[in-house]
A and B are shown apart, each in its own frame.
Chain A
Amino acid sequence: NAGVTQTPKFQVLKTGQSMTLQCAQDMNHNSMYWYRQDPGMGLRLIYYSASEGTTDKGEVPNGYNVSRLNKREFSLRLESAAPSQTSVYFCASQTGAGELFFGEGSRLTVL
Chain B
Amino acid sequence: EDQVTQSPEALRLQEGESSSLNCSYTVSGLRGLFWYRQDPGKGPEFLFTLYSAGEEKEKERLKATLTKKESFLHITAPKPEDSATYLCAVQAVAGSYQLTFGKGTKLSVIP
Q: Do they bind each other?
A: no
